[in-house]
Structure 1
């Protein structure tokens, strides 16, 4: 992303004012060309008003066309790569000429109820202005991010707990007090693309959750599990599964209902390769969680 070449606004420290100065960006592009690096796309940061951004990204398009005369090897021009705002995007697309932008992008870190669905609706409505429109929620990585962000927001509270394991470094573990209701929520990320881990969640002497490979006896209860995995174990797949079911927007383009699977708390957690797992359990009485 190219975001330098602006002056900070006096009134609003989060935004920038004035025309974009592409001097540093041009130097960076020339350097990558001299090294023979293949660049897929350039994206211009968008902490400016929509009309100014349309002018700036038009300038970026001219620079890219000039430095990359071969249209078959020319990097795409993308933007704005910021948080989605209906009015801002509408104004931007109305002020940018056809052929300037190859794809429209936006972040989905600020996911709330229906934000991705609303973004897709708006992109479809404005699709005639920019072809093709890139909707990040249609890629596997973005769907993983969408599911991860929604479950993180829904399940994990602000209080962080101590958690550790003595297994593979490809297994990452995090624990928080549950956001709503009693109990603890554990997040497991299996970064291995070939190893499945069998994990037991137990209390240590200080009532903090730990992970181990040999199960201990725990209170007879059920826990909730949410497993996010790529279809057929292929991380490049455009389908993400939640507990074995494809995670897709509804016909009305709303966020789907994300139901857990109920599992006997005494059974091990099965972490498949390239998986993200949220576990909500009421079997741990961490004093800090109340």
Structure 2
């Protein structure tokens, strides 16, 4: 039994959400495995073949459902060659959403964080990622939309960066922008001890 047989069996045995009719927006596997990865990585060829297999499993599981969840990948940092190969190998009809992470301010512990936030040149550097990803999708997978899954911010001053990046993402046709995280790390929306909302919590309704 290979790993996909094992995963298929797991889905079959734990199809609780399907049996209950719960709506799942999307399926995605792995975290930050693209390119050189963070501690671990998978080649674009292997990952793309796995995405195709995942899509087949989801197709089979949801064949009697009114709505099939989207397939998202890779949920990692953008590297042009890796992402291009992923789109070429998976082809149309498999990958609905290209998801990526952005930590241009790091984990929020930089001693020069405020300086970076208030520096227009520093903020504009991230446009290269948006632009390159947009071109990569247009050339290799125009059927796929773009989601930014992870962004980390906390300080009130980071609102400048956050809103700037939201506008930039929209300009490059990003469909969804997720703010990390509710609790945890140096950038949670809630205080990790008291669970009282941090200032950035209130910005999410903008």
1:78 and 1:99 map into 2 onto residues whose CA distance is 12
How far apart are 1:26 and its partner, in Å?
1.7
Match of 1:97 in 2: 91
Aligned to 2:63, which of 69, 73, 78?
69
Q: 1:107 to 1:29 in 2, by over 3 A?
A: farther
1:67 and 1:51 map into 2 onto residues whose CA distance is 25
How far apart are 1:99 and its partner, in Å?
1.0
Match of 1:136 in 2: 148
Match of 1:26 in 2: 11
| Contact map agreement 2:80 2:133 (CA 8 A) in 1 | no
How far apart are 1:111 and its partner, in Å?
5.0
1:272 and 1:44 map into 2 onto residues whose CA distance is 29
2:47 and 2:131 map into 1 onto residues whose CA distance is 22
Structure whose residues are more often strand by fraction:
1
**Gapped regions of structure 2 (runs ≥ 5):** 34-40, 107-121, 173-198
* Structure having the higher Rg: 1
| Contact map agreement 1:42 1:76 (CA 8 A) in 2 | yes
Q: 1:53 to 1:29 in 2, by over 3 A?
A: farther
Say whether residues 1:248 and 2:176 are aligned partners. Answer: no
| Contact map agreement 2:8 2:57 (CA 8 A) in 1 | no
1:115 and 1:61 map into 2 onto residues whose CA distance is 35
Structure whose residues are more often helix by fraction:
2
TM-score normalised over the length of structure 2: 0.56
Q: 1:68 to 1:87 in 2, by over 3 A?
A: same
Deviations 1:209-252 (A, max 9, x none): xxxxxxxxxxxxxxxxx2628xxxxxxxxxx647xxx96339x9
Alignment of 1:142-221 (within 5 A): 145=151, 148=153, 187=155
Q: 1:71 to 1:126 in 2, by over 3 A?
A: farther
Deviations 1:49-106 (A, max 9, x none): 1000111000111111111125741100001101222221122122222111000001
**Gapped regions of structure 1 (runs ≥ 5):** 7-18, 153-186, 189-225, 230-239, 254-270, 277-290
Q: Which runs of 4+ in 1 moved over 6 A?
A: none
Q: Size of the alignment, in residue pairs?
A: 148
Match of 1:38 in 2: 23
Aligned Cα root-mean-square deviation (Å): 3.7
Aligned to 1:52, which of 43, 46, 49?
46
2:61 and 2:19 map into 1 onto residues whose CA distance is 11
2:9 and 2:102 map into 1 onto residues whose CA distance is 28
TM-score normalised over the length of structure 1: 0.42
